[in-house]
Structure 1
Amino acid sequence: MLKRIHHIAVIGRNYEKSKWFYCEVLGFSVLAEHYQAHRDSYKIDLVLPSLCQLELFIFKSAPPRPSFPEALGLRHLAFEVDNLDEEIERITRLGIESEAVRIDPYTNKRFCFFADPDGLPIELYETN
């Protein structure tokens, strides 16, 4: 029986930009980093204080995302926040632009989107 999601894997192209984004902007901490010489790639294991894990793979020649955000497969990553306005202000100070705040028509909760360095949509979802 499934217990919970263990991790999510994301592919990026630029080691420095992706690591900065996921650590400094989103607040992940590095659990482990591995360089894979035979693939000229990196694998960085990241974790949030909630123990949510993310595997970040860096491949310099990864193909671009075909559309935003309706490509087949993973549509976006969503992170729960207590105060959406504070988080938007914080990421804006870090040079990250977000879309306008929207209201979920089913829950009446506020949310917004922005993108990681490779165009993967990231959602902030206010739960309070």
Structure 2
Amino acid sequence: MLQLKKVHHIAIICSNYERSKKFYTEILGLQIIREVYREERDSYKLDLAIGDNYVIELFSFPNPPKRTSRPEACGLRHLAFEVEDIQETHNLCIKNNIKAETIRIDKFTNKKFFFSNDPDNLPIEFYEK
């Protein structure tokens, strides 16, 4: 059996780098660790963190193919972020013109959560701590 320690990072390819960079840094509040432009690929790579935890690599590539379907396509289903105050998070999404589903309650944990999307319609879940 492998001896995994933790999830190291999640890689996301975006269609509009500046729009996604703004979403992940200015709206979600992830901190920039490093930003690199890779000229040979005409691509940016942005390493992002929550606190001291490196979590997301955001990539740009010219003309990436679109996600096949939503939400039940094979592969990554969604990203989930834990938040202190679900209602405040929901309100901030609405204030920033980000569509947010109604807050629901997980029938197994009794915790509140809701879904939204990043600029490329990657499903994002916000889950109450």
Per the TM superposition, whether the score is higher than 0.5 is yes
The corresponding residue for 1:115 is 117
Partner of 2:88: 86
| Partners of 1:14 and 1:109 in 2: CA distance | 33
Using the TM superposition, give the Cα deviation of residue 111 of structure 1 relative to its aligned residue in structure 2, in angstroms: 0.6
Q: Deviations over 1:71-109 (max 9, x none)?
A: 111100000011100011112211111011121121111
Partners of 1:48 and 1:38 lie apart in 2 by 29
Size of the aligned set, in residue pairs, is: 127
Aligned AA (1:9):
A
Percent of residue pairs identical? 51
Query: Which residue of structure 2 aligns with residue 59 of structure 1?
Result: 61
The whole-number CA distance in structure 1 between the counterparts of 2:99 and 2:121 is 12
Instruction: Give, in whole Å, the separation in 1 of the partners of 2:126 and 2:106.
Output: 12
How far residue 55 of structure 1 moved from its aligned partner, in angstroms, is 0.2
Indicate conservation of the 8 Å contact 2:32/2:48, yes or no. yes
TM-score (norm 2): 0.93
SS at match of 1:114: strand
What is the distance in 1 between the residues matched to 2:52 and 2:118? 21
SS in 1 for 2:107: coil
**TM-aligned CA deviation for residue 50 of structure 1:** 4.8
Instruction: Check conservation: 2:81, 2:126, Cα contact below 8 A.
Output: yes
Distance of 1:56 and 1:69 partners within structure 2? 21
RMSD: 1.1
Which runs of 5 or more structure 2 residues have no equivalent in the other structure? none
Amino acid at match of 1:21: F
Distance 2:41 2:10 in 1: 21
Give unpaired runs (5+ residues) of structure 1. Answer: none
Asked if the contact 1:14–1:60 (Cα under 8 Å) also holds between the matched residues in 2, the reply is no
Taking structure 1 as the reference length, what is the TM-score of the superposition? 0.93
**Rounded Cα–Cα distance in structure 2 between residues aligned with 1:37 and 1:70:** 35
Give the distance between the partners of 1:117 and 1:35, measured in 2 at CA. 21
- State how far apart, in whole Å, the 2-side matches of 1:120 and 1:109 are: 22
Task: Decide whether the 8 Å contact of 2:79 with 2:124 is kept in 1.
Answer: yes
Q: Which residues of 2 match residues 1-128 of structure 1 at below 5 A? A: 1-127=3-129
CA contact 1:7–1:53 (8 Å) conserved in 2? yes
